[in-house]
Amino acid sequence: MDGIHDMGGMHGFGPVDPSREQPFSKTEWRARMFCLELSYTQPGGFNVDWLRHVLECIPPDVYLTSDYFDRWYWRDVGVLANVGWVSIDELASGVATSRPQDVGDPLPPEAVSVMLEQGLDSRRDVADPPAFKPGDRVRAKFHSPLGATRLPRYVRGHVGVIEQYHGWHVLPDANAVGDERPEPLYSVGFLAQDLWSDAAAPGDKVFPCLWESYLERE
């Protein structure tokens, strides 16, 4: 999706402020929002690609004017409202008027260490060989569906070189909508001077991770 989230290379944002830090404690709303996301029962089960896509669907002006963890709020209430588990009235009042059926018990505190230990992994155990090998020249496709994708706009149409092969990973475009379709994943190196008219140095490179179907042989 050609959304506001796809901001790699966008002009117009000012200097980075390295000194900015935000507090993190049990009474801070940002900390609670971040950890709420890891704790609540999600409809259909946790799917990081769907969550990311819902975040991308926040209106562009809201996206640019909301705090980072407030965008997580908008994402999560979107995920919940989409299936009817919460309503606008309930979100405004904080008072439940209905309760979803057959959702089991919520995640207990004891489950945290297992989640922390294991995390989730988009990699799948597929033995088939990848189409490209390090050193191969590839072109990123003009691929911008109205839906989830993780092909950044700044490399579309550009030629890069396969740097590293990372095994087979589920394709976000399909996984976001519940279709698990693993593909070979590569780090691909692009010369900054090919990507940007105003790139400063001749040897500098940018390496996004690209799934095989995002690429064609050059």
Partner 1 sequence: MKVPKETKKIMELEKELHSHLPSDPALRVKALESLLVEKGLLNSATIDRWIEVFSDEVGPKNGARVVAKAWSDEAFKKHLMADARKAVDELGFPRLEANNLVVVENTPKRHNVVVCTLCSCYPWAIMGLPPTWYRSFEYRSRVVRDPRGVLREFGLELDDDVEVRVWDSNADVRYMVLPERPPDSEGLNEAELAALVSRDAMVGTAKVTTTEQGN
Residues 17-36 that bind partner 1 (CB under 8 A): 17-18, 20-22, 24-26, 29, 31-36
- For residue 149, give the nearest of 49, 45, 51, 10 by alpha carbon: 49
25 in contact with a second copy (CB under 8 A):
no
Q: At its nearest, how many Å lie between partner 1 and the CB of residue 180?
A: 14
Q: At its nearest, how many Å lie between a second copy and the CB of residue 95?
A: 29
Residues 125-184 that bind partner 1 (CB under 8 A): 146-148, 150, 152, 154, 164, 166, 169, 172, 176-178
Residues 33-52 that bind partner 1 (CB under 8 A): 33-36, 38-41, 43-44, 48, 50, 52
Count other C-beta atoms under 10 Å from residue 149's C-beta.
23
Per-residue tokens: 125: 């155990």
Nearer to a second copy, 139 or 166 (CB): 139
Nearer to a second copy, 14 or 129 (CB): 14
Q: What are phi and psi of 189, to 5 degrees?
A: -95, 125
Contact indicator for 86, 43 with CB cutoff of 8 Å: no
d(CA 29, CA 204): 40
- 123-124 and 159-170 strand pairing: antiparallel
Residues 123-142 that bind a second copy (CB under 8 A): 142
